[in-house]
Amino acid sequence: MKVVLFCGGLGTRLRDYSDQIPKPMVPIGYRPVLWHVMKYYADFGYKDFILCLGYKADVIKNYFLDYDESLTNDFVLRNGGKDIELLQSDIDDWRITFVDTGLSSSIAERLVAVKDHLEGEEVFLANYSDGLTDFPLPGLVEEHRHSGAVASFLCIKPYHSFHCVDVDPKNGLVRKIEDTTQADFWVNGGYFVLSQEIFDYIDKGDELVHEPFQKLIAESRLYARKYTGFWGCMDTFKEKQMLDDLFDSGQAPWVRKKAD
């Protein structure tokens, strides 16, 4: 099952980084967040990736062309550094397709741009390239197959606390104020499972979660899995620091233990 990752955005809220590198290449530890997302999928056996590139695509291409396995694997050095024997490997069984999908394309347009690379895939996976979770992904794939949906995705509780206000539209009086972490309030967390039929719902200029998903809602063919476990994205410097701290502590939830 192939995995489409959207890697073309500007990442303007991480401006100090995005001036030099695309957001998917912002590091957590020794590796960029994109690698952490790909490793998550690979640990579940999904190792055939399609990267939808855009902004600073050359940086992502060159990273993998010059990939250094020794950064995150044990190895034996011999012959004065001339010979390296890796004791493990990260990506030797990964297949990565790099596709330029435009600088300003929407997510839906990027998806359509790689349609030919998904030929024969009845169901495939897709995701943003900056969100991490500990969700057991095969469960969502099975739920998607049994739901009859064209598209499924993970929805999560906001981990930032702010007040959700319910206002009476007739008189402007507040009916309720509730913290978002406590309210029945959910947001799109990505980790899409998509059937080939999704392309029948996308028109030129569409954004995936807008027009196509609205059509699917009208037909009762959009499925969402609520998840209250760990989910975090690298959208701001504060969020990057949170992910860095988790990784440095050795307790990063998205890193699956080898025995899992």
Written as tens digits, the pLDDT of the chain (260 aa) is 999 999 977 655 555 565 678 889 999 988 999 999 999 999 999 999 999 999 899 999 999 998 888 787 788 988 877 788 888 888 889 999 999 999 888 999 999 999 999 999 999 999 999 899 999 999 999 999 999 999 999 998 776 666 778 788 888 788 778 776 676 778 889 999 999 999 999 998 899 999 999 999 999 999 999 998 999 888 888 888 889 999 999 889 998 876 44
CA dihedral 203→213→95→248, nearest 10 degrees, is 130
Report the pLDDT value the prediction gives residue 260, as an integer from 0 to 100: 45
Burial class (CB in 10 A: 0-12, 13-18, 19+), 244: middle
Q: How far is residue 1's CA from residue 45's CA, in Å, rounded to a whole number?
A: 9
Can you give the pTM of this predicted structure?
0.87
pLDDT score of 6: 95
Residue 12: strand, helix, or coil:
helix
pLDDT at 44: 94
Separation CA 66–CA 77 (nearest Å): 19
Three-state DSSP class for 75?
strand
Domain boundaries, the chain: 2-153+187-248
H or E element in which residue 227 lies = strand 222-227
Rg, the chain, Cα only: 20
Report how far residue 198's alpha carbon sits from residue 119's, in angstroms, rounded to the nearest whole number: 13
Say if CB 219 and CB 201 are below 8 A apart.
Answer: no
What pLDDT does 23 receive? 87
For residue 159, what pLDDT is reported?
67
Name the residue among 140, 102, 134 with its Cα closest to residue 3.
140
Topology at the third CATH level for domain 2-153+187-248: Spore Coat Polysaccharide Biosynthesis Protein SpsA; Chain A (3.90.550)
pLDDT at residue number 83: 82
Q: Given the structure tokens 């062309």, which residue do they identify?
A: 65
The kind and range of the H/E element at 61 are: helix 57-65
